[in-house]
Structure 1
């Protein structure tokens, strides 16, 4: 009952008022659509304006049988946001999930790679292939600048300020930041631009896109995942890795070598320092060295 209408308005709100990306919009919408499916399957006819806590508790109970606590917590958070929007629009006076607690999930520490493992992965790239120079430049940029995969595939030639030693990144919520880029990474990008990229027939609308697929269009997130997973197989790396693993490794290696959390936060584009603080938990040896170096009672 009217769910599609309210979901569409909610999506417009998230896109226009909060500036969220397409991927984030899809994630938020998926949680609400999952609730709609539950209502249909159980022949419960009720609008988002009238739905009560009891019905939502039934939905969450059914979900808990299918997903882990972390996914369950994400669903609850997404639905709370939707009902908060309805309150904001004066369509409801209460949030029916207000008294429903999310399951305790703990804090998952991200996987990381050693410098040697990153070198091994990049060295395994076949530079004789048409995409070799591009793939090396992409992985060097992921690791060298700590980018999200969405930031990598949308990077523009006009975002490169090599003389100043920075690149301009458009992150979550279309927020922009400048990230330092080393001469090594600059060189790999230049090699790619001057060799394989020059031989691609670029499609209209993608002239400024830095990393292109063989058809001259922007790469997909899935393609970056595939490239990295295939390299992991080639080098027999017994770790589950993704593009985000390079970002985590970037932050961890900076911290291990003495960088401060505030600087890492700015480079990663984290809105809150608490998000960046997860990296402190990755290396207890590093914490011990900090204590022994800086505490007056060492």
Structure 2
């Protein structure tokens, strides 16, 4: 009995400084996931997605207690995401970049999955009597329609950074690496000098920074190896080996995801890119599509991208009807008969 009273006292004292009654339980959930060894990126996703939920709860149900939470509350929140929420609402730096209301079903599913994980934990740990997670369904999503850049747009983006300045040259190298290797942006930003084999023209993506937790070796072109070598040498001159990271700020600290995202967006504006989202992930789609169009096979592409199966690779390759016609003209069994 004393343990129950003590636990209630902790709950009460915690609720005084928190924004919503559910925050205490999310803190417990987060500590459990940290103990399980989840990657920092995954933990950050849980945090950011909970903040969106927290913001909605604080407006709609500011005093809602965990034992009062129902499936209807969760469905209301899902409906809010689909019809009312803006993409970066509440984000510290990206909030003003998108004002359109209603998230895509794919984005809603990403946030719903992390919410379901939280709800499942609460039920498994005995905090929730009902298994709400099993009653929350994901949205039906049409085939992936994220396109890539056209070749002309690739050249325009590469020409956008001012290479006479350190930050401009660094951005140029980052763009080239993303286009040439298909690395995820966080994989690129966490590269160190030791991950580069400039003579062998390969990049090692360590297990600790790979999204799937498995290391892989990614090839790069001679040109990319040369400009990476030049950037590493410039970093040594500028910062005297204070950091082994490849992509640095003017003060020698590592370039962050939000900072890189903003730089890429600005270069897209300067290049006049329209009709396609200028984001780090679009570079990955572009690499995959152009790799296949240039004759690369899907099995080597799978290894380069670091995916477990070809079904994920297929989502990255966006071939237009014209691409299909060209491929058919070259590969049809009737060609040459």
Cα distance between partner residues in 1 of 2:127 and 2:53: 19
**Correspondent of 2:312 among 267, 275, 278:** 275
The answer (yes or no) to whether the contact 1:165–1:180 under 8 Å persists in 2 is yes
Q: 1:295 offset after TM fit, Å?
A: 5.7
Cα distance between partner residues in 2 of 1:132 and 1:62: 40
Structure 1 gap segments, 5+ residues each? none
TM-score (normalised: structure 2): 0.75
RMSD: 2.9
2:297 paired residue number? 260
Q: Deviations over 1:10-45 (max 9, x none)?
A: 2234344353333x3233233334444544542553
2:119 paired residue number? 83
**Which range moves more in the overlay, 139-148 or 37-46?**
37-46
**Correspondent of 1:185 among 206, 221, 224:** 224
The number of residue pairs the alignment matches comes to: 293
Q: 1:173 offset after TM fit, Å?
A: 4.9
1:30 paired residue number? 48
**Correspondent of 1:95 among 114, 131, 145:** 131
TM-score (normalised: structure 1): 0.83
Change (3 A) 1:202 1:91: farther
The answer (yes or no) to whether the contact 1:80–1:95 under 8 Å persists in 2 is no
Q: 1:121 offset after TM fit, Å?
A: 2.2
Q: Deviations over 1:235-267 (max 9, x none)?
A: 323243122222211111001122222221221
Q: How does 1:200-215 map to 2 (within 5 A)?
A: 200-201=238-239, 207-215=243-251
The answer (yes or no) to whether the contact 1:140–1:185 under 8 Å persists in 2 is yes
Cα distance between partner residues in 2 of 1:95 and 1:267: 39
Q: 1:100 offset after TM fit, Å?
A: 3.0
Cα distance between partner residues in 2 of 1:257 and 1:59: 44
Q: 1:144 offset after TM fit, Å?
A: 1.0
The answer (yes or no) to whether the contact 2:203–2:219 under 8 Å persists in 1 is yes
Cα distance between partner residues in 1 of 2:79 and 2:263: 38
Give the SS at the match of 1:119: helix
Larger relative contact order (CA 8 Å, sep ≥ 6): 1
Change (3 A) 1:77 1:200: same
Q: Are 1:57 and 2:75 matched, yes or no?
A: yes
1:7 paired residue number? 26
1:153 paired residue number? 189
1:68 paired residue number? 103
Q: Deviations over 1:106-128 (max 9, x none)?
A: 23422311233222322333222
Q: 1:281 offset after TM fit, Å?
A: 3.9
Cα distance between partner residues in 1 of 2:309 and 2:123: 26
Change (3 A) 1:230 1:92: closer
Change (3 A) 1:234 1:95: same
Q: 1:186 offset after TM fit, Å?
A: 0.4
Cα distance between partner residues in 2 of 1:93 and 1:74: 25
1:243 paired residue number? 280
Structure 2 gap segments, 5+ residues each? 1-10, 12-20, 85-101
The answer (yes or no) to whether the contact 2:149–2:283 under 8 Å persists in 1 is yes
Q: 1:50 offset after TM fit, Å?
A: 6.4
Q: 1:9 offset after TM fit, Å?
A: 3.2
Cα distance between partner residues in 1 of 2:270 and 2:77: 43
Cα distance between partner residues in 2 of 1:100 and 1:92: 15
Cα distance between partner residues in 1 of 2:278 and 2:46: 25
Q: 1:87 offset after TM fit, Å?
A: 4.4
The answer (yes or no) to whether the contact 1:21–1:172 under 8 Å persists in 2 is no
Q: Deviations over 1:270-293 (max 9, x none)?
A: 244222112344333333444555
